[in-house]
Structure 1
Amino acid sequence: MRTKKQKFFLFLKIVAALLALLLGGLYFFRDSLLQQVLRKAETKFEQEYNCQFSVKQANFNGLSEVELHNLILVPKNADTLLAVRKIKTSYSLFELFTGDLQLKNLEMNHGFIQLVKNKNGRNFDAFLKRDNEEKATEKRHYAKLAYRLLNKVLNLVPSEMQLDNLSLRMDDMGRKVVLHLNDLRLENHQLQSEIQVKTNTLVQHWKISGFADPRAKKADLKFFSGDTTKIQVPYIDERFGLKSSFDNIHIKLDKLEMESGELHIDGFTSIENFTLNHPKIAKKDVVIANARFDYRFLLGRDFISIDSTSSAQLNHIKVKPFAEYNTEEDTIYRLKVAIPKMNAQDFITSLPKGLFTNFEGMETEGNFDYQLDFAYNKNKPDDLIFDSKLNKENLRITKYGAANLAKLNGEFTYRAIENGVEQRPILVGAANPNYTPLDQISPYLEKAVLTSEDPSFFHHRGFINEAFKQSIVKNIRTRKFARGASTISMQLVKNVFLTREKTLSRKLEEILLVYILENNRIASKSRMLEVYFNVIEWGPNVYGIGEASQFYFQKRPSDLTLTECLYLASIVPKPKKFMWQFDDQGNQKPYAVKNQRFIKNLMLRRALITEQDTTGQSVPVYISGRARSFLKLKTLVDSTAADSLRFDPDEFDF
């Protein structure tokens, strides 16, 4: 009788014999098995993706190296998606059996991947369809899903690689981009690559070099130009009109691991001399000399986040960000931004060139720090949190840039800009006969405009937090900028110091200038309001209340009635369209009357006026000044012609 030890060795011998038999079978029948796999692939591509897949020649070299020749993938009635002359790769048999397949090396040459969109559709649509078997109601585990996908991608990146004469082509309705890979080598974890880029508008030579270890999930790569020019980002200039370029990008991945059910992704990305140009951003090139993002992404069962240990740097400005998307109970978006204590002058000089032109040349003293706390619950939008705080330390401006805010306190010349063209000069001062001091403007007008435009003007510091919150909520709900939160301070800065262009640059400058104006008490509230009344547009080529009161009513601003003031307040948002409030008889339309009644009732409720003030004020608005020529009135000739067409039986003798 065999002992336990003998039985164990006998078992090992049987297992070894079976493995040898299996490996022998695999070796002798490997080419047949490969052909069978390819036939299944051909069938799957045809049935599931309506594509023709073919390999002219396929064979094994040894037991774990596969060589394929002339691969072609062509969607039905569409352009070829993939064509490669030769692919050679190897893998581990053990990994093949365990299902964790990792490519050991890869050689590929003479081929292309081609993405085409034309009037007939896209040649890659079939591969974008969703899996119908996926349960839509099943909650995703973000960490596991991301880790599984990233692992699959990294496992397909071989540890050794040699690619020659390969191209990635894209044709989007005639907008063509070709990335031609002349040579790529990955040996001993060192990556070197040369890429020729060609579009309808440029030809460039790019290089990629650095460290890459897909098995250890680490990389340290630099992307830069192969000649003396900056790298220009292709396609987006033709597609979106956005021109962008940079000197180099540095990308490093230090960690990609699952720990206690959470996925940690650590590393950094930096860019030098990043340049943007788009009419919606700014009038000129926006240049960021140096930017860096040291990131730590955390993914769990119910959340995706940028951890608070991450940091971002824009020139000398350092930022500590935290962002999270959480679905544990409700769908919640969180954002926290902190700028640690820094020198104010370093902040001014670090602002991107071209984005804050009015701040160029500004000089400051002192320090500051800043915190932003934002949270939005998709199911409870009214509970939005928006808390913005700036703490100052001996902060003051010693020299202004292009926007000299101090000029508000004296006499100056104002020129409105329409479509980039300067309008006639308006002198803001006593030498202008139309200039009207605040105490010579009807109190009704001041109260009506404040009620309509900015009720808390004399109490806020440039921004109304609650209005800002409501604006954010509405814009998120509608998924567009459907509502602003503009105060009189913001309108004043926009009119006096900025253009009317609708750009990101102009809006950012407006916010910063308003903050500086209001929080450094550069001008009093009364002075700001007085300048506001004397520079804003009240109609076509009508600037200031002195011109407006004559243009509409042939009066001085001090003589305006409550009804006339309510009318003037109602046209401030759209002064050039005032004529559409009136019908062909010169009477205000019902919606305009209703709007002015609403403003009046608000003034009554807030005790800004009394019932006695409204006595005798029910008379309709009558435009008597030059503005009447802008109304679309029925003329006397029209009335006479209409009367002549009427049938009068007394004119005829029967």
Structure 2
Amino acid sequence: MKLQRKKVLLVLKIVGVLLLLGIILLFAFRNTILEKVIHRIDAKMEREYQCHFSIERAEFHGLTDLEFHDITLVPKQADTLVRIDELKTSVNFWKLLLGDIQLGKLEINKGYIQLVKTKNGSNFDAFLRSKKEKKDNDEVNYAKLLNRISSQLLNLVPTDMHVKGFAIKIDDKGNKVVFDFNQLVLAEKKLHTIIQVTSDNFSQQWCINGFADPRDRKADLQFSNPKSDTIRIPYLDKKFNLKSGFKAIHFNLENLSMNSGELYIDGYSSIENLIVNHPKIANKDVIIKKARFDYRWVIGSRFMALDSTSTVQLNNIKCHPYISYTNETDKVYALQLKIPKMKAQDFIVSLPTGLFHHFEGMEAKGNFSYSLNFEYNNHKPNALIFESKLDPEGLKITKYGEADLNKINREFTYRAVDKGIAQRPIILGPSNPNYTPLNAISPYLQKCVLTSEDPSFFNHRGFINEAFKQSIAKNIRTQKFSRGASTISMQLVKNAFLTREKTLSRKLEEILLVYILENNRISSKERMLEVYFNIIEWGPNVYGIGEASQFYFQKSPADLNLNECLFLATIIPKPKGFMFRFDSEQKLKPFAKQQNEFLTRLMLRRQLLSETDTIGQNVPAKILGPAQLYLKQKPTDTIENDSTSIDEFEF
């Protein structure tokens, strides 16, 4: 037993001596080793990134302190990517022995990172290229990967940092922005930063202050302007035509840790007076006064999820989202959203200013709650889950805003806006001689339009969940917006109360207005359908069925035959392009005939037509009215719509 102890002590002494000897040798030759490391980095940069890396002078001070002068990284035949005049740092010696780099302090005096992009490429292209092609069967443990990356990045954040005169410069084909760090200090876990931001349009100071502890993985930071002005976001305005800004941002990271093989990320973010302006969002500034996101992310070996205990708050609106992505045998995407019971008026006043301008001034009473459940499996697209449910409780609109939905029950004037230009006024009511009551419209046309546009119009309340499911599944499958799920109610609201602008604002307003119109029973279905037939566009400067029946067939809407009604129903999606459905002999092209035949078979199958209704259908509809001029003027070499297939003609 004593002999064994002596052997153990001897081994420990030998290891200690060797370790001490190694430290002495490391200390003695540390600058030589550092020089070789720099040459190795330079060779790697040259080999893998076609860049020249150089340091004019590098030396150790003691065992852990390093000092570098004139650091440059220059890609071949491109602008300098990095230049630092002076850099001082220290490393954790014991971490370094284990092959891990952890910075203790960092001091940078003068320098810049410069990202330059021209028509011939950029000076950072080489760093964006993937080194290895990932095989499909390679399994990545998401939790371990993200934990390793976050650990490496946080270890590179020093606990003591002083940066002065360092800039980040961006030049994207003349779109220039400079972020000049006049001061950046991290000491005793307190961060203070002053950044001078300069672009072609403005110059402004930003401040980032707060608590930061990279070793304990915690942070609490405030992002603001020292003059309390709105912070403007550069670069995006010229690059994407996106004007944006905010008053302040608060970011908090409370927890970033591994537990039982899962990575947990907890904290919150908030923003004040967010301003966004983009023509695809709305036609004026969208303003969100207050928003907050309390998050709890959970990352496992093969999944990522935003836990349902997370909260998103938009002014007075609170909701609990759940988002997940699972990649095991199948890729499964899931989204759940719940808005607990809240007052309807609180919801209306909390809507972002500028995004719902038709709702401004609207008042409501009662409460409601809302839930959404969505799930998509890439190997089972037809099993897509889409469930949207709103539970009202005494919900009633007591005062309308700009969109007065009650006007649908009386005569009103409609002016279409096409490409920003207001068209001629159309009176929706008896004082217009072309206005046609529903009972004076051919039953064939009513059946054709309802079958092609909205078969369940008289049964639904504005939306069809199944249509949304099929639309989402097809759009995901084709990776483009190839199918919509618009009902007649949605088309009516878009025409009567909104504009044709293709913006997020218009679509969101359309959804909310349809719900109010249908679920508050503001108008009967028959009245809605009558207005729809008299308001929609049927051709170039042709509005309403009264004008359309004369424009194409020199008939009243009551006298239209089946073939004429089939033609009118099938041109609703693209009424201005009706002429491209005809060949040079003014006969329907094959694809247009197929659509008519398909629609006829569908109505026969649904018993909307009988066999006797189709007698004489072999006699094609003949254009007799002013529309003939468009057929004669149509270029013979134009093939627009020729490729339209039956598969694209959805019902």
Return the TM-score normalized by structure 2. Answer: 0.95
- Corresponding residue of 1:608: 608
Q: Is the 8 A contact 1:368 1:393 kept in 2?
A: yes
Q: Is the 8 A contact 1:56 1:71 kept in 2?
A: yes
Distance 2:313 2:225 in 1: 23
Distance 2:257 2:617 in 1: 74
Shift of 1:106: 0.6
Distance 1:472 1:381 in 2: 9
- Corresponding residue of 2:242: 242
Q: Is the 8 A contact 2:296 2:306 kept in 1?
A: yes
CA gap 1:496/1:2 in 2 versus in 1, 3 angstroms:
closer
RMSD (Å), alpha carbons: 1.8
- Corresponding residue of 2:637: none
Q: Within 5 A, what are the aligned runs for 1:302-381? A: 302-381=302-381
Distance 1:77 1:541 in 2: 58
- Corresponding residue of 2:385: 385
Deviations 1:478-519 (A, max 9, x none): 222111111111110000000001111111111111111111
- Corresponding residue of 1:31: 31
Q: Within 5 A, what are the aligned runs for 1:68-83? A: 68-83=68-83
Q: Within 5 A, what are the aligned runs for 1:114-125? A: 114-125=114-125
Distance 2:521 2:2 in 1: 100
Q: Is the 8 A contact 2:163 2:184 kept in 1?
A: yes
- Corresponding residue of 2:208: 208
Distance 2:4 2:449 in 1: 100
Deviations 1:171-211 (A, max 9, x none): 11121111111110000000001101112222111111000
Q: Is the 8 A contact 1:579 1:632 kept in 2?
A: no
Amino acid at match of 1:332: V
Answering whether residue 616 of structure 2 is matched by residue 623 of structure 1, we say no
- Corresponding residue of 2:564: 564
Shift of 1:10: 5.2
Amino acid at match of 2:219: A
- Corresponding residue of 2:180: 180
State the structure with more CA Rg. Answer: 1
Q: Within 5 A, what are the aligned runs for 1:1-16? A: 11-16=11-16
Amino acid at match of 1:429: G
- Corresponding residue of 2:89: 89
CA gap 1:57/1:593 in 2 versus in 1, 3 angstroms:
same
Shift of 1:136: 5.4
CA gap 1:92/1:591 in 2 versus in 1, 3 angstroms:
closer
Distance 2:178 2:93 in 1: 37
- Corresponding residue of 1:300: 300
Distance 2:423 2:577 in 1: 19
Answering whether residue 272 of structure 2 is matched by residue 269 of structure 1, we say no
Distance 2:341 2:65 in 1: 59
Distance 1:62 1:585 in 2: 93
Amino acid at match of 1:281: I
Deviations 1:29-64 (A, max 9, x none): 211221121122222222222211111111111111
Deviations 1:549-574 (A, max 9, x none): 12222221111112211121122111
- Of the structure 1 ranges 577-586 and 385-394, higher mean CA displacement relative to structure 2 is found in 577-586
- Of the structure 1 ranges 292-301 and 574-583, higher mean CA displacement relative to structure 2 is found in 574-583
- Corresponding residue of 2:447: 447
Q: Is the 8 A contact 2:228 2:247 kept in 1?
A: no
Distance 2:38 2:563 in 1: 84
Distance 2:26 2:375 in 1: 59
For the residue of structure 2 that corresponds to 1:342, the secondary structure is strand
Shift of 1:471: 0.8
Q: Within 5 A, what are the aligned runs for 1:52-201? A: 52-132=52-132, 137-201=137-201
Distance 2:576 2:97 in 1: 76
For the residue of structure 1 that corresponds to 2:424, the secondary structure is strand
Distance 1:469 1:134 in 2: 33
Deviations 1:624-650 (A, max 9, x none): 22222222179xxxxxxxxxxxxxxxx
Distance 1:24 1:260 in 2: 41
Distance 1:373 1:152 in 2: 37
Distance 2:133 2:417 in 1: 59
- Structure 1: gaps of 5 or more residues: 635-654
CA gap 1:208/1:623 in 2 versus in 1, 3 angstroms:
same
Q: Within 5 A, what are the aligned runs for 1:519-530? A: 519-530=519-530
- Corresponding residue of 2:531: 531
Distance 2:3 2:602 in 1: 102
For the residue of structure 1 that corresponds to 2:23, the secondary structure is helix
Distance 1:204 1:583 in 2: 62
- Corresponding residue of 1:652: none
Amino acid at match of 1:294: D
Shift of 1:9: 5.3
Deviations 1:138-166 (A, max 9, x none): 20000000000000000000000000100
- Corresponding residue of 1:436: 436
CA gap 1:5/1:409 in 2 versus in 1, 3 angstroms:
same
CA gap 1:559/1:74 in 2 versus in 1, 3 angstroms:
same
CA gap 1:13/1:133 in 2 versus in 1, 3 angstroms:
farther
- Of the structure 1 ranges 469-478 and 288-297, higher mean CA displacement relative to structure 2 is found in 469-478
Distance 2:111 2:136 in 1: 38
Distance 1:633 1:150 in 2: 65
Aligned residues between the structures:
635
- Corresponding residue of 2:456: 456
Answering whether residue 427 of structure 2 is matched by residue 427 of structure 1, we say yes
Shift of 1:228: 4.2
For the residue of structure 2 that corresponds to 1:632, the secondary structure is helix
- Of the structure 1 ranges 121-130 and 471-480, higher mean CA displacement relative to structure 2 is found in 121-130
For the residue of structure 2 that corresponds to 1:280, the secondary structure is coil
For the residue of structure 2 that corresponds to 1:631, the secondary structure is helix
Q: Is the 8 A contact 1:82 1:113 kept in 2?
A: yes
Shift of 1:298: 0.5
Distance 2:617 2:58 in 1: 94
Distance 1:79 1:302 in 2: 41
- Of the structure 1 ranges 528-537 and 142-151, higher mean CA displacement relative to structure 2 is found in 528-537
For the residue of structure 1 that corresponds to 2:592, the secondary structure is helix
Shift of 1:212: 0.2
Distance 1:617 1:21 in 2: 102
- Corresponding residue of 2:22: 22
CA gap 1:130/1:586 in 2 versus in 1, 3 angstroms:
closer
Q: Is the 8 A contact 1:583 1:633 kept in 2?
A: no
For the residue of structure 1 that corresponds to 2:140, the secondary structure is coil
Shift of 1:361: 0.6
Return the TM-score normalized by structure 1. Answer: 0.94
- Structure 2: gaps of 5 or more residues: 635-651
- Corresponding residue of 1:291: 291
Distance 1:85 1:376 in 2: 53
Amino acid at match of 2:355: L
Distance 1:349 1:413 in 2: 29
Shift of 1:591: 2.4
For the residue of structure 2 that corresponds to 1:424, the secondary structure is coil
Answering whether residue 42 of structure 2 is matched by residue 42 of structure 1, we say yes
CA gap 1:557/1:136 in 2 versus in 1, 3 angstroms:
closer
For the residue of structure 1 that corresponds to 2:597, the secondary structure is helix
- Corresponding residue of 1:499: 499
CA gap 1:530/1:20 in 2 versus in 1, 3 angstroms:
same
- Corresponding residue of 1:411: 411
For the residue of structure 2 that corresponds to 1:27, the secondary structure is helix
CA gap 1:136/1:575 in 2 versus in 1, 3 angstroms:
closer
